[in-house]
Amino acid sequence: MSREPKRRMSAAKRRAVIVESATEVFAERGYDGASIDEIARRSGISAPVLYDHFPSKLALFQEVLATEYALLRAAWQVTFASPEPLRERFAASLDAWFAHVERRRKSIPVLFQIATADERARQAQADATRASRSALTPFVTGALDADKSGMDGLDTEMLIEIIAASLRALALWWHEHPGVPRVRLVKAAMDALWPAIGQRVT
């Protein structure tokens, strides 16, 4: 009885597996402690095969950051695009953001906590964070009519920093308190952030 030949994984799927494994290893070991050999082993491949997809650990780290932040932004933006009043949309977006964080708990240290002695890795994390925060600009400027709110570019930038920093802090806190239900995090974020937004649209 002949067996069907085992199908080879596509390059795109293999790359996704590598990124997922790398997310786990970076979260567990930090950037400095993560090794290509361990990431390759968890991906079910050899290190040379991994290097076919990513030329360096730094390039792989950059891809992990880009992937995780893109997922976070998508969770936020899809819900916020509804026609509901701003307060309801903001609350729903917070819930979607924390729901994604809940599903991807292992990525929290990668996004918000990793400390490294490698200057290029620190810069990669800073660049990814900055790019993700800048993606909030359309949300803020679109939701707040500049003519009515009286906000200028600097006001908008500071408000974005307040939102991003608050969500980062709560995500890290939740990582250490996983038993707290998501609804409590959403309420805490809403209570802290909505006054800063609501006063500019009322």
Task: Tell whether 127 is covered by a domain.
Answer: yes
Locate 59 and state its tokens.
Answer: 């390039």
- What DSSP assignment string belongs to 42-55? HHTS-HHHHHHH-S
pLDDT at 6 over 60: no
pLDDT in tens, 147-194: 455 666 677 778 888 888 898 899 999 999 999 999 999 999 999 999
Q: Name the percent of the chain lying above pLDDT 90.
A: 42
Task: Tell whether 23 is covered by a domain.
Answer: no
User: What does the CA dihedral 16, 20, 21, 25 come to, rounded to 10 degrees?
Assistant: 140
pLDDT in tens, 98-143: 998 898 888 888 888 776 888 999 899 889 888 887 776 776 676 6
Distance (Å, whole) CA 145 – CA 189: 23
User: Considering its fold, how many domains does the chain have in total?
Assistant: 1
Task: Tell whether 161 is covered by a domain.
Answer: yes
CATH number at residue 95: 1.10.357
pLDDT in tens, 47-56: 999 999 999 9
Task: Tell whether 37 is covered by a domain.
Answer: no
Orientation of helix 119-134 relative to helix 153-176, angle to 10°: 120
Task: Tell whether 116 is covered by a domain.
Answer: yes
Task: Tell whether 33 is covered by a domain.
Answer: no
Distance (Å, whole) CA 180 – CA 118: 34
Residue 81 three-state SS: coil
The range of the structural domain enclosing residue 105 comes to: 65-198
Task: Tell whether 192 is covered by a domain.
Answer: yes
Task: Tell whether 164 is covered by a domain.
Answer: yes
